[in-house]
Amino acid sequence: MEELVSFDPNTLCPDHRFLRVICAEGVFYDLVPKWRVREHLFRLQNSGFPAQSIHRAKVPPCKFRDFTEADGPGVYREAQWKNGATFHFPLHPEDHALLP
């Protein structure tokens, strides 16, 4: 099994952005290059996944999808933020209203 790439506030490139993504299973996070945020948000929202850019200080320790090293917008690797082990987080009450 491939070892996860691990990021923390000291090792994350300042040109990368986290996106908070909402799905029926809960909330998860994507990491994308700053220049690709709009495209990634558009793809997610057109696929029925409400999403928004979020400051890294608000991202809990977690596993996430890392799109920063990929060859295309649909290719990612699994990574972890601050040694987190959780991928899906519970929905907040306001998240339910955003689901299709």
Q: Tens digits of per-residue pLDDT, 64-98? A: 999 998 666 678 999 999 999 999 999 999 998 88
Query: Scanning the structure block, which residue is given the tokens 């558009």?
Result: 42
Instruction: Look up residue 90 and give its two tokens.
Output: 């519970």
pLDDT at 1: 46
pLDDT at 74: 74
> pLDDT tier at 3 (50, 70, 90 boundaries)?
confident
Positive or negative, the CA dihedral 46, 49, 50, 56 is negative
Question: CA 63: distance to chain centroid?
Answer: 9
How far is 13 from 35, CA to CA, in rounded Å? Answer: 13
Instruction: Look up residue 100 and give its two tokens.
Output: 């299709």
pLDDT at 40: 95
Tell me if 50 sits within 8 A of 99, measured CB to CB.
yes
User: Strand 5-7 vs strand 26-33: parallel, antiparallel, or unpaired?
Assistant: unpaired
36 has pLDDT over 80: yes
> Structural domain boundaries of the chain?
5-96
Number of H helices, E strands in the chain: 2, 6
Average pLDDT along the chain: 92
